[in-house]
Amino acid sequence: MAKIHVLDEHIANQIAAGEVVERPASVVKELVENAIDAGSTRIEVSVEEGGLQSIRVKDNGSGIEPEDCETAFYRHATSKIASGRDLFLITSLGFRGEALASIAAVSKLTLLTASEDDGKGRVLDIEGGRLIRNEDAACGKGSDLSVRELFYNTPARLKYMKSIQTELGHISDAMYRMALAHPDISFTLQHNSNQLLHTLGNGDLLQVIAAVYGTSAAKAMLPVSAEDPDFRISGYISRPEWTRSNRNAVTTLVGGRYVRSNGLNAAIMRAYHTLLPINRYPLLVLKLEMHPSLVDVNVHPAKLEVRFSKEPELYGFVEQQLRSLLMGQSLIPRPTKEI
């Protein structure tokens, strides 16, 4: 008798959810990335109890067409790539078509969305991956997605959640990085009715740095802008005399996305070598631009890690540009742009 069978779609989605949805912050990141991909200029996030009770992301982007609403929650359903060739030229944040299916599989979710400004939208309720309601509803253009009781049907995963403060810390961190990556979008983050972040969306990165790290940090920044035939870097780096006790204020951005790269971090630390006291770290927001064919974002399900095809050249370029900027600075703070 045959012993091998294909798993039921709901179980398959729950298993896949384990990779994409690790904790509340992963839900926030995926939903906000969808809002960014939808061309939103204002994204409001509110969470309760560290996101374990509820996560709501409201945007003013393109919305979802009524006939696409259900499909959007199928696994591998995406509007962002159409063929295998597109995989090598990705310009959107999402492309796997996995986030909505995964989130819906492990929560109770409501989507309210409209793709036109005629007040005619759609509302969907999904619980544990099962569609409960899909009907017309009045709403303005954009999407409003609420996720409640994350992991309510996967107790093993729920058990691994940390304290509300820890989960909230991860959410804030994800929000900060996305706000830093998109100064042209206005972001707000609210936790149990406390406002934790508000950015204006006027395109001024230094103002976002001030909103995230405080005004004194923003005043200690040096602007960076350099390019060679393959790469362009821009953003802000802290003067050596302004330091932090932890290394998580280094935000490297590729293709509008925060990426973690040990090689890049090492290049940055080499640029600051001997200029920082031991165990002190800089604050950086560094945007790297290159042709999409020079970077592979299809390495990691959460897309945090990327692979560069000209690694030594990129690291060398970053180190050299930052080093010469830092060495050119006198160590006496100078007045910077007013913020």
Residue 52 or 111 having the CB closest to ligand ADP: 111
Give which of Mg ion, ligand ADP, none residue 78 binds (C-beta under 5 to 8 Å, depending on kind): ligand ADP
Q: By CB under 6 A, name the one of 17, 38, 164, 222 that touches ligand ADP.
A: 38
Strands (E), 232-320: 232-238, 250-254, 257-259, 284-289, 295-296, 307-308
Per the DSSP assignment, residues forming a β-bridge with 136 are 122
- In the complex, the smallest distance separating the C-beta of residue 94 from Mg ion, rounded to whole angstroms, is 3
Tokens linked to 297: 């974002």
Looking at residue 206, its amino acid is L
Q: Is 36 helix (H, G, I), strand (E, B) or coil?
A: helix
Question: Phi and psi of 101, rounded to 5°?
Answer: -60, -45
**Single-letter amino acid, residue 9:** E
Interface residue with ligand ADP, options 52, 100, 175, 211 (CB under 6 A): 100
**Biggest CA-to-CA distance, the chain:** 79
Among the listed residues 13, 26, 46, 143, the single contact to ligand ADP using CB under 6 A: 143
Residue nearest to ligand ADP (CB): 94
User: Nearer Cβ to ligand ADP, position 285 or 295?
Assistant: 295
Q: Nearest approach, Cβ of 38 to Mg ion (angstroms)?
A: 10
Q: Does 36 bind ligand ADP (CB under 6 A)?
A: no
**Residue number, 61 or 240, with CB nearest to ligand ADP:** 61
Give ∠ CA 55-58-61 in degrees, rounded to 5: 145
**Residue 79 contact, options Mg ion, ligand ADP, none, Cβ 5-8 Å cut-off depending on partner type:** ligand ADP
Between 68 and 204, whose beta carbon lies closer to ligand ADP? 68
Cα-based distances in Å from 168 to 46, 173, 190: 11, 8, 10
- Kindly state whether residue 72 participates in binding ligand ADP, applying the rule CB under 6 A: yes
First to last CA, the chain: 73
**34 makes contact with ligand ADP (CB under 6 A):** yes
| Residue 64 is a binding residue for ligand ADP (CB under 6 A) | yes
Q: Does 35 bind ligand ADP (CB under 6 A)?
A: yes
CA R_g for the chain: 21
* Shortest CB 190 distance to ligand ADP, Å: 18
Select from 17, 50, 59, 317 the one that contacts ligand ADP (CB under 6 A): 59
Q: Is the dihedral of CA 293, 296, 298, 304 positive or negative?
A: negative
Half-sphere exposure in the Cβ direction for 54 (13 Å, CA): 15
User: Applying CB under 6 A, does 232 fall inside the site for ligand ADP?
Assistant: no
Closest CA to 148 of 128, 131, 133: 128
CA distance 20 to 304: 11
34 belongs to the binding site for Mg ion (CB under 5 A): yes
**44 binds ligand ADP, rule: CB under 6 A:** no
Verify binding: residue 142, Mg ion, rule CB under 5 A: no
Q: Return the number of the residue (64 or 109) whose C-beta is nearest ligand ADP.
A: 64
Q: In which region does residue 101 sit, left (phi positive, over 0), alpha (psi from -120 to 50) or beta (all else)?
A: alpha
Q: Residue 80, interface with ligand ADP (CB under 6 A)?
A: yes
Candidate segments 71-79, 146-154, 313-321, 323-331, binder of ligand ADP by CB under 6 A: 71-79
H helices of 182-278, where? 205-213, 215-219, 262-271
Residues contributing to the site for ligand ADP (CB under 6 A) = 30, 34-35, 38, 59, 61-64, 72, 77-80, 94-101, 143
